[in-house]
């Protein structure tokens, strides 16, 4: 599990570094832009799009913070939580 504040450190990092969310199920979500994620108290919304316009989202997933096992930067070989 990760807290909302821990996840916000990745989302609001300056400069932003793309990161990967690892779920307990084995599924992963690559976050390549801070606007792809909206953090809530107990879950997050992960947005994705297939168009070139980042303002238009085609799909989203609601993910429970309880089910997140790990968060790691995509440019890192060492996992971070």
Residue 57: count other Cβ atoms within 10 Å of its Cβ: 16
Quickly list H helices, 1-81.
4-11
Q: If we measure between CA atoms, which residue out of 29, 27, 81 comes closest to residue 60?
A: 29
Q: Report domain extents, the chain.
A: 4-73
Fold of the domain spanning 4-73: SH3 type barrels. (2.30.30)
Q: What is the model's pTM?
A: 0.81
Segment 9-64, tens digit of pLDDT: 999 999 999 999 999 999 999 999 998 999 999 999 998 876 776 667 678 999 99
Range list of H helices, 12-77? none
């Amino acid at each position: 599990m990760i807290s909302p504040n821990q996840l916000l450190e990745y989302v609001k990092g300056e400069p932003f570094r793309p990161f990967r969310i690892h779920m307990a199920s084995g599924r992963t979500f690559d976050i390549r832009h801070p606007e792809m994620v909206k953090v809530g108290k107990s879950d997050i919304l992960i947005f994705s799009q297939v168009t070139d316009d980042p303002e238009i989202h085609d799909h989203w997933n609601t993910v429970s913070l309880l089910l997140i096992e790990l968060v790691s930067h995509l440019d890192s070989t060492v996992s971070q939580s």
